[in-house]
Amino acid sequence: MLLAIDIGNTNIVLGVWGGDKWRAHWRLRTVHDRTADELGIYLKGLLREHELEEEITRVIMSSVVPQLTQTFMTVSIHYLHHNPLFVHTGLDLGIRNCTDVPGQVGTDRLLNASAAYERFKKACIIVDMGTATKLDVVTSQGDMIGGVISPGLGITADALFKRAAKLSPVDYQAPPATLGRNTAHAIQSGLVFGYLGLVEGLIPRLIDDLKNYDPLGDDVHIVGTGGWINVIAPHTDMIKTYDPWLTLEGLKIVAERNQ
């Protein structure tokens, strides 16, 4: 079985692929100073709980957190006894990285693009709401041509509460109406419907830009993923597919294409 690990700035997402389905997956909080021993013991406990500890035959991992990259390499080698396949732009990703500076594109963005294109085989825009809010564009020919990056919902909320002394944290959910009639609902409206407006405003503009590169750019599938996507996905018709584990799908695809 394949263990897929995606190390992000806010969450570490892991999954075990059993050949025909995901046998288990987890979303853990990223803690930058955890040791390899701590992570190794914790990971083996998760696998043992699902009776998968002895079933892992391959490990693939991607990381946008350099501090944890070597830590997880050590975990894979010492605790799982597998030398992991580390995702980089030199691998067969199933898409072409056609951005101006390919080496600057995060592997999480490439994996999401790979998973979306493999599933739908058409032009896609991937809305990934994680530490950053990212919208990435893939043509109908499988070319990732660029995207948009803005601060994530969580970062914005943290900055608001730190800078505005009289504003208190709220639950990250939509208020009863856009018009907030108390401070808590006003903040929720700004966060939820504000980011909804960001996403819904950018998608048509990206589709217009896509037409310059792709004659089939009118037929675009919008895919949502990331830890915050569940906050806005219920309030828009633009996002046609919601998959919180899309990056894991990308890791599985890359593992299969790079045996």
As annotated, the active-site residues are 108
DSSP 34: -
Query: Could you give the strand order of the β-sheet that contains 220-225, starting from the edge strand earlier in sequence?
Result: 96-97, 143-151, 132-138, 123-129, 220-225, 241-242
The string of DSSP letters for 85-148 reads EEP-TTS--SSEE-SSSGGGS-HHHHHHHHHHHHHH-SEEEEEEESSEEEEEEE-TTSEEEEEE
Q: Which residues pair with 137 in a beta bridge?
A: 125, 146
> Which residues have C-beta within 8 Å of that of residue 149, sequence separation ≥ 6?
132, 133, 134
| Count of Cβ atoms closer than 10 Å to residue 48 Cβ | 11
CB 129 within 8 A of CB 232: yes
Close Cβ partners of 124 (under 8 Å, ≥ 6 residues apart): 113, 116, 117, 137, 138, 220, 221, 222, 223
- Please state, in angstroms and rounded to a whole number, the distance separating the CA atoms of residues 47 and 55: 9
Which amino acid, 149?
Answer: I
Question: For the chain, how many residues are written?
Answer: 259
Instruction: Report d(CA 15, CA 30) in Å as an integer.
Output: 16
Burial of 53 (0-12, 13-18, 19+ CB in 10 A): middle
